Amino acid sequence: MFGYDRIICMKKQDYILAGLILIISLALNFYISSYANKNDMSGNYVVVYVDGDLFEKIPISDNGEHEIVTKYGTNVIGIYDGRVGVTSADCKSRDCIKMGKISHVNEYICCLPHRLYIVIEGEDVQYDTVAY
């Protein structure tokens, strides 16, 4: 193609840099995931954290809609046959609804405007949140 080399003229170092970034982040990602996925059974509880503190713990068998009302706003969590998702929220972005449904231990949905996140936890899960 005409002038192709002149336009895309990445140096060899650029490819190495991109590869290094991806490899390091993949390795860190595996490390973090293995740390978080100590037991990958289907979860027992849907746990809602607000401001990093435990807010509500709902058994995953409890089908139906649950309203989470905090001082930041309202989110409605739908639990249907082990699949958990946010069905409505009164924030602007609604990214938490777009995050879809979760069904495995340690999967989570977060809602930044309301400072909450929803995570499925097993009965005897070992890790806890890391406080900064």
Partner 1 sequence: MKVSVKELAVMGVLTAAAMIFSYVESLFAAFIPVPGVKLGLANVIILLAIFAVGEWQAFVIGIVRVLLSALLFGNLMSLGISASGFLLSFLFMLYLKRLGKFSIIGISLGGGAAHNLGQLICVSIYMSSFLMMRYLFLFSLFGVLTGLVTGFVCKLIYERVKEYDWLS
The residues that touch partner 1, with contacts defined as CB under 8 A, are: 7-11, 13-14, 17-18, 21-22, 25-26, 28-29, 32-33, 36, 49, 51-52, 95, 98-99, 106, 108, 110, 112-113, 115, 117, 119, 129-132
DSSP 20-35: HHHHHHHHHHHHHHHH
- Residue 69 CB, nearest approach to partner 1 (Å): 19
User: Whole-angstrom Cα distance, residue 12 to residue 36?
Assistant: 36
Cβ-based nearer residue to partner 1, 7 or 64: 7
55: left (phi over 0), alpha (psi -120 to 50) or beta: alpha
Cβ-based nearer residue to partner 1, 42 or 129: 129
Helix or strand run (H / E) with residue 4: helix 4-7
User: Whole-angstrom Cα distance, residue 78 to residue 101?
Assistant: 9
- Residue 64 CB, nearest approach to partner 1 (Å): 25
Cβ-based nearer residue to partner 1, 76 or 91: 91
Cβ-based nearer residue to partner 1, 66 or 94: 94
